[in-house]
Amino acid sequence: MRPIRKAVFPVAGLGTRFLPATKAMPKEMLPVVDRPLIQHVVDEAREAGIEHFIFVTGRNKAVIEDHFDRQFELEHTLTERQRRDELELLARDVPAPGTASFTRQQVPLGLGHAVWCARELVGQEPFALLLPDVLVQHNRGCLAQMIDAAGDLPDSANIIAVEKMPAERLHMYGVVGIGTRKGGLFSVTQMVEKPAREKAPSDLIITGRYILQPEIFGVLAAERRGAGDEIQLTDAMIELARTQPFYGLEFEGRAFDCGSKVGFLAANIAYALERDDIAPAMRAELKRLLGDG
C-alpha cells in the first residue's frame, strides 16, 4: 500500500451527550487525565508516522485550533518563571508549521459528510481517519498497528479497525462480516451500520480508525442519506467495497468509547493508572471509593 501521510479528524460533533459540559467547550477538549481527548488521538496519529493533520471543525470549535497553536503569553510567563518542564511539554504538542489544517463542516449532515469536507485537503492519496470519540490504549497505537498490517496489502486496499462487542451493544455501531482471515487481519464481506440485533453479521464492530482510499470522496459526493437521515460513512464504504478490497484488523489493546459517559470516565481511570506520577495515589483513591481499602 502507498504510504499514509495524512490523517483526518472529524471534530464538528455537537457533543450533546455531555451537556452542559459541552455547552461552551467542544467535547474533544474534555481532558483524559491532563490531555484533551483530541490530543491523545493526534498523539496516536503522530506515533504512526502521520505528517499532516486535517481537522474538520464546526462553529464553537475554535479552541481546538488554538490548542494546536503556540500560546505566546503563556510561554512568556512560563519563561519568566523559568518553568522549563511546562515549556517543553507545551512545545512537544504543537504540530510543525504548516502541518495542521482546519476546514469547517458548515452543516451537521453526518460523519460521511464531515469526511467529504476534507477532500481538497487530502487530495488523491490514501489517508487515515480517526474518530476522536475513541481512545485505544496499547503500547503500539491502533493506527500504527493498521499501517504495519497494510504493508503487504494491494494499493487499492482499505482497512478498518474492529473489536468484539457484546450482542446487546452491536446496534450502536457499524458491524462487519468476516471473510478469509490471516492472524488479526481478514477480508470484510459486508458492513451494516447500526444493525438490529438479529441482522448483525458478526460480533465485530467498526472502532473508529480507518485507512481509506481517496475514491471514497467520489462516492460521498452523491450525498445519499442513510440511517438517521445522515450521510453515513459506512454506506459509502459499502459502495466502495464493490470495486476495492476492504480488510478488518482486530487490533491489540483496549478501546474506550469516550462518546459515552461511562466510557469516558473509564478512559480517565485507565489512563491515570498507567501514569507513574499518579497511579499509586489513584489506586489508593479507587480502593477507598470501592470500600475495600
User: Where on the chain is the footprint of ligand G1P (CB under 6 A)?
Assistant: 111, 131, 133-134, 173-174, 193, 205-208, 233-234, 259
Closest distance between ligand G1P and the C-beta of residue 194, in Å?
7
Q: Which residue is nearest to ligand G1P (CB)?
A: 174
User: Helix, strand, or coil here: 193?
Assistant: strand
Nearer to ligand G1P, 100 or 134 (CB): 134
Place of cell 488521538: 41
Closest distance between ligand G1P and the C-beta of residue 130, in Å?
11
Nearer to ligand G1P, 45 or 233 (CB): 233
Q: How far is CA 59 from CA 2, 16, 22, 105, 204, in A?
A: 34, 14, 13, 9, 34
Asked if 57 contacts 65 with a C-beta cutoff of 8 angstroms, the reply is yes
Closest distance between ligand G1P and the C-beta of residue 49, in Å?
23
The backbone torsions φ and ψ at residue 129, rounded to the nearest 5 degrees and listed phi first, read: -130, 125
Q: Which of 58, 62, 68, 52 is nearest to 10 (CA)?
A: 58
Closest distance between ligand G1P and the C-beta of residue 50, in Å?
20
Nearer to ligand G1P, 42 or 175 (CB): 175
Nearer to ligand G1P, 49 or 177 (CB): 177
Nearer to ligand G1P, 169 or 288 (CB): 169
Nearer to ligand G1P, 56 or 131 (CB): 131
Closest distance between ligand G1P and the C-beta of residue 106, in Å?
18
CA pair distance 92, 191, nearest whole angstrom: 38
Contact residues for 169 (Cβ-Cβ < 8 A; gap 6+) = 205
Closest distance between ligand G1P and the C-beta of residue 177, in Å?
14
Asked if 5 contacts 125 with a C-beta cutoff of 8 angstroms, the reply is yes
CA pair distance 143, 149, nearest whole angstrom: 10
